[in-house]
Amino acid sequence: MKPSDQPVISLNPLPCILNQIGSPPILSLPKTLKSFSMILPERHPLQRNTVFIYSVSVHIVNMLDLGSLGNTRVISEEYIKWLKGYCEAFFYGLTVKLLEPVPVTATKCSFRVNDNTQNLQIHAGHILKFLKKKKPEDAFCIVGITMIDLYPRNSWNFVFGQASLTDGVGIFSFARYGSDFYSSSYEGKAKAFQKKSSSDYSVFDDYYIPAVTSVLLLRSCKTLTHEIGHIFGLRHCQWLACLMQGSNHLEEADRRPLHLCPICLRKLQCAIGFNIIERYKALVRWIDDDSADTPRVTPKHSREDNVNLPKPVEAFKEWKEWIIKCLAVAQKSEPSYRSN
């Protein structure tokens, strides 16, 4: 077969990002599979192949979990289910279980107002300690998701997420993925904030939640799988365009793709043992299920228990085309893509 007849998959090099003094960063050689340290099975027996997800949130007076995603409970529950399904496809072969929402008060975490955005933030490290205590014995890892902004320490501005490989816990926020987070008119800005005590969490009452969009879902899926990837032992990728690239701001986060580079994909396969072809098929199914082509019915025009919420996957269209190309290549050499 002529080379021109083969499907083309772009494996772009990672764009060079200059450091603060205008010089290219010093990069070490890429870690190959041979140098990948598989320490996870030593920490967790292989039968512990479950990922648990907490919705780290706050509560309002009617006891709906305010830190959830979306402006109603139905939207929130659907969004969490979409993320669960995406994780099960991305980490193909693992079981993902949803746990009950947790109020900020239960975590006893520190919080503050960010000097730059004037938005509330909770301490990521304190949340990790809380999750470590709540981690089920049969869980490989437990992760928290929240719409409240995070900071890892007082000297840092913010962090999208944070994970501990050794403890098998992670926390990440989707707060900055809303379309108007950086706007001067953002409704979530803390108004007349005055911290009375370290245990007074009333400031989170009526916490603002942005609308659910396709871009928000895509960004959330990126962060979720990136941080869980760290728990599987994947470090930041420095060479090829890859989900495991690091990011310091939203522009960098948007620039990294949804897919793993070949080296990181092989590492993940080594950790989980999935069939790559079946994994690609599962990802396509997740995008195709509950297609967003059907008209959206919002809670405003129907009963909440009958709401039809098609998954907003418009932003995943280009990635779906990329996966289909990968499938075409993999299926032509199927034996070499098996996990064994």
pLDDT of residue 46: 43
Provide the sign of the torsion angle of the four alpha carbons 116, 83, 213, 56, taken in this order.
Answer: negative
User: Of 19-28, 59-68, 70-79, 144-153, which range is least confident?
Assistant: 59-68
Q: For residues 28 and 25, what is the distance between their CA atoms, to the nearest angstrom?
A: 10
- What is the tens place of the pLDDT at every residue in 163-178? 888 888 888 888 888 7
pLDDT value at residue 332:
84
C-alpha distances out from residue 40 to 33, 48, 166, 270, Å:
15, 11, 8, 11
Structure confidence at residue 182 (pLDDT): 80
Region 319-333: mean pLDDT is: 90
pLDDT in tens, 127-145: 999 988 988 887 888 888 8
pLDDT at 48: 52
What does the pLDDT look like over 244-256, one tens digit per residue?
A: 998 888 888 889 9
**Predicted pLDDT of residue 306:** 47
* CATH code of the region 50-233: 3.40.390
Q: In percent, how much of the chain has pLDDT > 70? A: 69
Residue 153: its pLDDT value, please?
Answer: 92
User: If DSSP states are collapsed to H, E and C, what string results for 3-51?
Assistant: HHHCCCCCCCECCCCCCCCCCCCCCCCCCCHHHCCCCHHHHCCCCCCEE
| Choice among 77, 227, 278, 314 that is catalytic | 227
The domain ranges of the chain are 50-233, 275-290+312-333
The verdict on whether 318 is a catalytic residue reads no
Q: For tokens 């690091």, what's the residue?
A: 246
Question: What is the pLDDT, as a whole number, of residue 72?
Answer: 54
Q: Is the whole-model pTM more than 0.85?
A: no
pLDDT confidence tier of residue 43, bands split at 50, 70 and 90: very low
Instruction: Find which of 61-75, 88-102, 167-181, 262-276 is predicted with most confidence, using mean pLDDT.
Output: 262-276
Band the pLDDT of 308: cuts 50, 70, 90: low
Rounded Cα distance between 205 and 279, Å, is 41
- Across 107-128, average pLDDT: 89
Compare 36 and 181 and report the one with higher pLDDT. 181
Q: Is the pLDDT of residue 1 over 60?
A: no
Each residue's pLDDT tens digit, 157-213: 998 888 888 888 888 888 888 777 887 777 777 766 666 556 678 877 777 777 778
The predicted-structure confidence for 70-80, as pLDDT tens digits, reads as follows 555 566 778 88
Name the E strands within the chain: 50-57, 95-98, 102-103, 111-113, 120-123, 139-146, 149-151, 161-164, 169-173
- In this predicted structure, what is the pLDDT of residue 192? 64
Residue 67 scores a pLDDT above 80 = no
